[in-house]
Each structure stands twice: as structure tokens, then as C-alpha cells.
């Protein structure tokens, strides 16, 4: 019963890729991560998971986030297949 419920939860979870760049990639020791979140999860929920990672204490409390290459707010809902990126302070030019 429990197993069945867990399987159903995974079935309708949100599986996506998270990208880290520059100082954030250095802090977390990786440039990419695949995550599965509960259905209905937002950017805010994803950030909570990222904050639990070793090295995440070096990140600011509310880093900028892009979903599918566009800046997105904390309330942005996530969908399976999304490409989420944490964007360190930009320094082009």
C-alpha cells in the first residue's frame, strides 16, 4: 500500500534539470543536477532543496532563478523537463 502510494507520487512528480554556473558551481562542486520534486512544486520549493546541499551556505538567501532560459519568480510553477538555472550576479561587458 505504502509502496503503491510512493510509486504513484513518483509517477506524477516533476523531474527537471538544475544548472549551476560560475561561483555557484564552485560552491556546490557541480554544474548540473537532476531533481524530482512533488507535483505542484514551485521555484521556491526547488531552492529549499538546493539550500540543503553541501556548499549551499555560500549562496545568497534568494538567488536569481531562470526557468527555460527566462528569469522567473519564486512562485513560478515547475514542470517535468524544465531547465532551471541558478544565476549568480551577472558580470558581462
Does 72 bind another protein (CB under 8 A)? Our answer is yes
Among 14, 16, 18, 43, which residue interacts with another protein (rule: CB under 8 A)?
43
- CA pair distance 52, 45, nearest whole angstrom: 11
Least separation in angstroms between residue 58's CB and another protein is: 11
Question: How far is the C-alpha of 13 from the C-alpha of 41, rounded, in Å?
Answer: 9
Q: Is 72:35 a contact under the CB 8 Å cutoff? A: no
Closest CB 70 distance from another protein, rounded Å: 4
Strand 14-20 versus strand 32-37 pairing type? antiparallel
* CB 13 to another protein: min, Å: 23
> Are the C-beta atoms of 88 and 22 separated by less than 8 Å?
yes
What is the binding site for another protein (CB under 8 A)? 19, 21-23, 26, 43, 60, 62, 64-66, 69-74, 76, 85, 87-93
Amino acid at each position: 500500500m505504502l509502496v503503491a502510494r510512493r510509486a504513484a507520487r513518483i509517477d506524477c512528480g516533476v523531474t527537471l534539470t538544475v544548472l549551476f554556473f560560475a561561483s555557484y558551481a564552485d560552491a556546490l562542486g557541480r554544474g548540473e543536477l537532476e531533481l524530482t520534486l512533488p507535483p505542484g512544486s514551485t521555484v521556491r520549493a526547488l531552492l529549499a532543496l538546493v539550500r540543503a546541499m553541501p556548499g549551499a551556505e555560500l549562496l545568497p538567501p534568494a538567488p536569481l532563478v531562470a526557468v527555460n532560459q527566462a528569469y522567473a519568480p519564486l512562485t513560478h510553477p515547475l514542470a517535468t523537463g524544465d531547465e532551471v538555472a541558478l544565476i549568480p550576479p551577472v558580470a558581462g561587458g
